[in-house]
């Protein structure tokens, strides 16, 4: 699975959210400043080439859907993050997040409860 650029990922977030959508709907859902309709269309062609989206024609309209699940792409990114920056260790990541005050003690306790449930 290839990586997405920031702009491609923004478009994918919209597609994942809407499930099926037209270019017009993607443009409407993107933050300001909104890209041009043609720009989004170009990105969709790139995403289709990369295998992230599929399109089907319904009359004169193209409908876009995701070919890659958001969860699968997220899992790949987390695995890459762990590998590149934390020696493949989730523990190192959690430790870093606690040091940076991104993760509170109560959040860690909730994670521990979830882990215990899964054992």
Q: pLDDT per residue over 6-59, tens digit each? A: 999 999 999 999 999 999 999 999 999 999 999 999 999 999 999 999 999 999
What's the whole-number mean pLDDT along residues 52-68? Answer: 97
Domains and CATH numbers, the chain: 6-66 (1.10.10.10), 89-119 (no CATH)
CA distances from 92 to 65, 85, 86, 87 (A): 36, 9, 6, 8
Helix (H) or strand (E) holding 49: helix 37-49
- Helix axis angle for 105-118 and 90-99, nearest 10°, is 160
Global pTM exceeds 0.85: no
Report the chain's C-alpha Rg in angstroms: 18
């Amino acid at each position: 699975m290839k990586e997405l650029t920031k702009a491609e990922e923004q478009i994918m977030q919209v597609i994942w959210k809407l499930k099926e959508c037209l270019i017009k709907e993607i443009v409407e859902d993107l933050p300001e400043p909104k890209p041009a309709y043609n720009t989004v269309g170009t990105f969709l062609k790139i995403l289709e080439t990369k295998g992230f989206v599929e399109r089907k024609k319904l009359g004169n309209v193209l409908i876009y859907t995701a070919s890659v699940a958001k969860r699968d792409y997220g899992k790949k990114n987390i695995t890459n993050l762990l590998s590149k920056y934390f020696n493949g260790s989730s523990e190192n990541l959690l430790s870093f997040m606690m040091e940076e005050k991104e993760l509170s003690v109560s959040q860690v306790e909730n994670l521990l409860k979830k882990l215990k449930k899964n054992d």
